[in-house]
Amino acid sequence: MAHDSTVLAGRPFPLGAHPEAGGVRFAVSAPPAEAVEVCLIGEDGSEERVELPERTFGVWHGLVPGVTPGQRYGYRVHGPYDPSRGLRCNPAKLLVDPYARRVEGKVTDLDAALGYLDDPMLGPPSPVDTLGKVPLSVVTSPGGPDTGAKPEVPFEEAVIYELHVRGFTKRHPGVPEHLRGTYLGLAHPAAVEHLVRLGVTTVELLPVHAFIDEPALVRGGRHNYWGYSTLSYFAPHPDYAAEPGKEVEEFRTMVAALHAAGIEVVLDVVYNHTCEGGPDGPTLCYRGFDAPGYYLHIAGGGTLDITGCGNTTEAGSPQVVRLVTDSLRYWTTEMGVDGFRFDLASTMGRPGGGWFDRSSALLTAITSDPVLSRCKLIAEPWDATGDGYRVGDFGVQWAEWNGRYRDTVRDFWRGFTGVRDLAYRLSGSSDLYAGDLRRPWQSINFVTAHDGFTLRDLVSYNDKHNEANGEDNRDGTNDNRSWNCGAEGETDDPAVLSLRARQARNLLATLLLSTGTPMLTAGDEMWRTQGGNNNAYCLDDETSWVDWKLSDEAESMLAFARRVISLRATSPALRQPEFFEGRSTPDGAPDLVWFRADGEEMAETDWFDEGRRFLGMWVDGSTSLSRTREGELVSDDSWLLLLHAGADPVPVVLPGPEYGHRYEPVIDSTTADGAPATPGAFTPGSTLTLPAHCLLLLRIPG
């Protein structure tokens, strides 16, 4: 650990720890600091403190000779401690480098990590040293396994699959036991094969930035499973490595394996808050360098919490803009990822905690960046406040999780709404996106996500059952818009089980046949249950892990999902890249027509009938405006989608010959695998009887 006594000035940028010139150049932003020491930690736990000699633009920097990759380190910041102004410099607290490429260790003494004594706002700074009690940064060398060519899947062809790195393979029998629950487990051929056979194009990984457990979980003996509690925005989470210390290499290997299979990697990123929580939380990183520069504050020094997590990053701060964009570029260029889903993204458009501004410094910096502008950028368009609900309000380059899609589709199939809003959701949510230079594929359609019921639980429970979370069932939303089909939870009633399976197929097929980009939740296609838990964020066990022992019901659901995804992939008219405009087809008909059960077009007054439970959707395939990768227009057959959420059978008259001369059933939700219950073809004007609660898709050959 010894080094030459001469510490050179080095340069302030790029930030972080970078091997160069026979040593390592350290650079960290800490504008309020009066002095900053980089602390080199030996294998025996000993510490050597080296004061950084230069401060430029608020960045403290120095090149320390003799230091090599693998060196563990932290920072000690000397400066003002004045909670009334939000300033909390405390050299007793060893800090993680905000730009660390690797972190090692955990918080082993939470009380010691607190930067204050007795009271976070009134008490003096804590003198307790945290060496050996908090995570450390690790110097890393750039490079590693090649991540392969990026698939660059056009958004209109994308099928997103949200999964948890640990939970996806933790119980997978085809993955070697020592690789289960790791980056290499997801890279294993058995895991990749499932994704390929299912037909998904893009995996969206729940947070893989290094994270730690929140104080409330630590004190309750629980664990943060989901990972929305970031410590480092550059370091892969170390617990997902099969070999300790190899997380960077293993992450890159995972990306390479997925890219080789033509599958993109999108990261769920949490730039809206950090693991440090409110003023009463620990001082582990950002708070100790420059709390007002990283977090929203109110008068008197408290933090402004619009995330529900104790703190909110200050989107208007140059430090935060730089941190976020540097992090995103690192994961894109060095780690090979293809895009990002931004958790509670509305906070990124609320500098100072004020009104949402789609042109905020941070959002603009991301979309105007020459590297990041080529990525898939997906916003979760809300935060923990009413003012933060911004579905449809993000800028032109942003796709969005469409919460209105989820709510409408759930309500329709449980019989709680008519068809007016449903028509918008089926056709790409033009009411939200068409007037803003956006495309229908920027609506990320979903009916389930990690947060909430699984698909199976959505049709099996009316109420949440979160007792295992340790919060007396108070956590998690009560607005589930679910229907248990006649019995709460597990049952042996064959009629209830049959209805549940059909309802699940209705929801899944609606999702995959809607215009827009569908997102599935891992395990839904295999009939995964969480026992009615809609907030399993702290359950790192069989509740959350995907079960690969497939029952007959799971096999059937998987076959159904594969059938519908495959059909979507080969049917351009079902994933149109442009909004429907009523343009005339070569046959003179509009590109989209809505039908009543009697075979007549929907009249204006029909849309306001809240008791209407049937809707027919005819889509012209000759003018789908879909293109090949080279940009040539491709045509398709036309389609008729029939959706019936009523409790009784309904006779349906097929449209006349001007819409097609032959109607061939292709997807039928009344059968276990989706194969048509009545094969063959129907003639225009003929009458079908649709059973209760069913979906039928018919092809009209061009």
The answer for residues whose C-beta is within 8 angstroms of residue 132's C-beta and 6 or more apart is: 45, 108
Instruction: Decide: helix, strand or coil at residue 233.
Output: coil
The tens digit of pLDDT for each residue in 246-282 reads: 999 999 999 999 999 999 999 999 999 999 999 999 9
The pLDDT of residue 605 is 96
List Cβ neighbours of 458 (8 Å cut-off, separation of 6 or more): 410, 447, 448, 480, 482, 483, 504, 507
Least Cα distance to 139 among 5, 251, 234 occurs for 234
Q: How confident is the model at residue 212 (pLDDT cuts 50, 70, 90)?
A: very high
343 carries an active-site annotation: yes
Q: What's the mean pLDDT when you consider all of the chain?
A: 96
- In 10 A of CB 689, how many CB atoms? 8
Q: pLDDT per residue over 326-368, tens digit each?
A: 999 999 999 999 999 999 999 999 999 999 999 999 999 999 9
SS3 sequence, 341-371? Answer: EECCHHHHHCHHHCCCCCCCHHHHHHHHCCC
CA angle, 492 as apex, 486 and 496 as ends, to 5°?
A: 30
The CA radius of gyration of the chain, in Å to the nearest whole number, is: 27
* pLDDT at residue 396, rounded to an integer: 95
Give the residue among 246, 301, 698 at the shortest CA–CA distance from 509.
Answer: 698
Residue 95: closest CA among 314, 290, 286: 286
> How far, CA to CA in Å, does 680 sit from each of 218, 411, 683, 699?
61, 32, 10, 11
HSE-CB at 137 with a 13 A cutoff on CA atoms is: 28
The string of pLDDT tens digits covering residues 470-523 is 999 999 999 999 999 999 999 999 999 999 999 999 999 999 999 999 999 999
pTM above 0.95, yes or no: yes
Q: Cα 223 to chain center, whole Å?
A: 20
Our CA angle for 121, 126, 129, nearest 5°, is 150
Q: Looking at the predicted structure, is the pLDDT value of residue 449 above 50?
A: yes
- Please state, in angstroms and as integers, the Cα–Cα distance from residue 270 to each residue in 207, 343, 377, following that order: 7, 5, 13
Measured in Å, how far apart are the chain's first and last C-alpha atoms?
Answer: 74
Q: What are 163's strand-pairing partners?
A: 205
**DSSP secondary structure string for all residues of 430-498:** HHHHGGGT--GGGEEE-S--SSS--HHHHTT-SS---GGGTSTT-SS-S------TTSSS----HHHHH
Query: Residues near 136 by Cβ (< 8 Å), separated by ≥ 6?
Result: 41, 72, 73, 74, 94, 96, 103, 104, 105
Separation of CA 56 from chain center = 37
- DSSP string of 106-141? --S-HHHHBSBSS-TTTSPBP----TTTS-EEE---
Q: Which of 276, 380, 451, 578 is catalytic?
A: 380
Indicate if 380 belongs to the active site: yes
DSSP assignment, residue 662?
-
Q: Of the candidates 19, 494, 102, which has an alpha carbon nearest to the alpha carbon of residue 330?
A: 102
| Predicted confidence (pLDDT) per residue in 46-57, tens digit | 999 999 999 999
Which is it for strands 59-65 and 664-668: parallel, antiparallel or unpaired? unpaired
pLDDT of res. 582: 73
- How confident is the model over 390-430, as pLDDT tens digits? 999 999 999 999 999 999 999 999 999 999 999 999 999 99
Residue 627 phi, psi dihedral angles, 5° rounding: -130, 160
Question: In terms of DSSP bridges, do strands 517-521 and 160-163 run parallel, antiparallel, or are they unpaired?
Answer: parallel
Catalytic residue among 276, 343, 524, 636: 343
Q: What is the pLDDT of residue 223?
A: 94
Establish how many alpha carbons lie within 13 A of residue 121's alpha carbon, considering only the half-sphere containing its beta carbon.
9
Which residues face 633 on adjacent strands? 627
pLDDT in tens, 101-152: 999 999 999 999 999 999 999 999 999 999 999 999 999 999 899 999 999 9
- Percent helix / strand / coil, the chain, rounded to 5: 25, 20, 50
Query: Does residue 14 have a cis peptide bond before it, meaning omega lies within 30 degrees of 0?
Result: yes
Tens of pLDDT, residues 679-695: 899 999 999 999 999 99
Query: pLDDT for 601-644, tens place per residue?
Result: 999 999 999 999 999 999 999 877 788 787 888 889 999 999 99
pLDDT at 1 over 80: no
Alpha carbons 286 and 313: distance in angstroms, whole number: 10
Identify whether the C-beta of residue 47 lies closer than 8 Å to the C-beta of residue 39: yes
Tokens of 116: 């204050």
Is the CB of residue 552 less than 8 Å from the CB of residue 560?
Answer: no
Query: Which carries the bigger pLDDT value, residue 586 or residue 366?
Result: 366
